[in-house]
Amino acid sequence: MITATQGVTRTSRCERCGGELVSDVGQFIERGQLAWSIEGQCQACRNAWCQMDTGPAPEEIRQALLTTHGPARLRLADKGASIVPVLRALREMHHLSLGEARLMAAELNEVGLIGTSVEMAYLAEGLRARFVTVTITSSVT
């Protein structure tokens, strides 16, 4: 089951024949896992590929999504709430040290974390699973 998804279609020049290459890059959450994909197909020759993996997306994909759709901002809804479940969720999802998780939690509590909407939805799912209430807004306000 896919619970969040975002994609961009781009065109570039085919390395093999110079024709028009159409590629779809995207990020999504499938069965609670953050994942990404890139699919390309030349309109003129047989050059085509498809790549997919779980985990953080390559920077190129993130930038394409951020440029097209804009970043999302995730914040803790209740600033007075306990930070313990937040630290647990962050460490589990991002394999962070306690120090790194503390920095990330502080950001969540203050300015908010910025990322693609799928990355923020993924974090929000993990936090909500631990009964942490969060809000996601478009960061351009």
Query: Where do runs of H (alpha helix) occur along 7-130?
Result: 59-69, 84-94, 98-109, 117-129
Segment interacting with Zn ion (CB under 5 A) among 3-11, 17-25, 31-39, 52-60: 17-25
Give the list of residues 6+ apart from residue 28 with CB closer than 8 angstroms, or none: 2, 4, 5, 6, 35, 36, 37, 118
How far is it, in rounded angstroms, from Cα 136 to Cα 131? 16
Q: Considering CB under 5 A, how many residues would be counted as binding Zn ion?
A: 8
Neighbours of 95 (CB within 10 A): 9
User: Among the candidate windows 37-45, 54-62, 78-86, 96-104, which touches Zn ion by CB under 5 A?
Assistant: 37-45
Stretch that binds Zn ion, among 10-18, 22-30, 68-76, 92-100 (CB under 5 A): 10-18
- Closest contact distance (angstroms) between CB of 83 and Zn ion is 53
Judged by beta carbon, residue 39 or residue 125, the one nearer Zn ion is: 39
10 binds Zn ion (CB under 5 A): no
Residue 47 interacts with Zn ion (CB under 5 A)?
Answer: yes
Three-state helix/strand/coil letters over 27-87:
EEEECCEEEEEEEEEECCCCCEEEEEEECCCCHHHHHHHHHHHCCEEEEECCCCCCCHHHH
Q: Which is nearer to Zn ion, 43 or 68 (CB)?
A: 43
Is 48 one of the binding residues for Zn ion (CB under 5 A)?
A: no
**Binding residue for Zn ion, selected from 12, 19, 50, 84, defined by CB under 5 A:** 19
Which residues of the chain form contacts with Zn ion (CB under 5 A)? 14, 16-17, 19, 42, 44-45, 47
